[in-house]
Amino acid sequence: MSAFDLPDLPYAYDALDPYMSAETLEYHHDKHHNAYVVKGNELIEGLPDMGSTLEEVVVNAYKQGKQGLFNNVGQHWNHKLFWNWMKPNGGGARPGNLDAAITDSFGSFDAFREKFIQGGVGQFGSGWVWLITDENNKLDVMATPNGENPLVHGKTAILGCDVWEHSYYIDYRNARPKYLEAFVDNLVNWEFVTELYEKGPVKIAA
Ligand code: MN3
């Protein structure tokens, strides 16, 4: 795999207002995500083959302890999905089969919501909170520091929320819980989450 590309946002900069402002999205996508892409391309240059898919590169960089490359390609993968995990008028009802799986794994949607928000609040410093599936397609919540993600732990992420300050400081200042509540209640694209859930666990040849 040679080059990484910055994908366009799947909606206008102001499409998630007021839950995530155009100013946040412009900086987060055009500056932060772009920097991961540029740096990732620089760092992979001249290395032996790191894999044929982005997922393979992410896992291989992690396993080989190529920390700089991993930080950037990991964040590239995380953000590519993150933009699609949100949509205008998001949140709300989940498609039936996903909703049933959430209830089955957490007891209720509210219990999931609480666990996900607390997972994000409890991640000290920069990181991510995830809704994951394991080998048996059972759901759970996990949090990871910095650019780390469930892929490198053999788990499949079906939803993730960026809790680095750059994703919420303009709109929420230091109120990370408020941001996480708005994410779950007003931003999540549950149709995309369902799509990933139905695809089942990600298999990586690494
Ligand atoms: Mn970010």
Determine the distance separating the centroid of ligand 1 and the alpha carbon of 186, expressed in angstroms.
19
- Which of 1, 167, 131, 13 is closest to 69 using CA atoms? 1
Determine the distance separating the centroid of ligand 1 and the alpha carbon of 101, expressed in angstroms.
28
pLDDT of 116-164, one tens digit each? 999 999 999 999 999 999 888 899 999 999 999 999 999 999 999 999 9
% of the chain surpassing 90 pLDDT: 93
Global pTM exceeds 0.75:
yes
> How many domains does the chain fold into?
2
Assess whether 39 and 60 both reside in one domain: yes
Q: How far apart are CA 116 and CA 104, in angstroms?
A: 16
pLDDT of residue 50: 94
Assess whether 132 and 176 both reside in one domain: yes
Query: Binning pLDDT at 50, 70 and 90, where does residue 202 land?
Result: confident
Assess whether 76 and 166 both reside in one domain: no
Cβ-contact 170, 181 below 8 angstroms: no
Burial class of residue 101 in the structure, from the number of CB atoms within 10 Å of its CB (0-12 exposed, 13-18 middle, 19+ buried): buried
pLDDT of 72-86, one tens digit each? 999 999 999 999 999
pLDDT of residue 3: 86
Where is pLDDT greater, at 62 or 1? 62
% of the chain surpassing 70 pLDDT: 98
Assess whether 152 and 183 both reside in one domain: yes
Determine the distance separating the centroid of ligand 1 and the alpha carbon of 107, expressed in angstroms.
30
Determine the distance separating the centroid of ligand 1 and the alpha carbon of 143, expressed in angstroms.
15
Domain housing 133: 96-199
Question: Residue 5 falls within a domain, yes or no?
Answer: no
Determine the distance separating the centroid of ligand 1 and the alpha carbon of 27, expressed in angstroms.
10
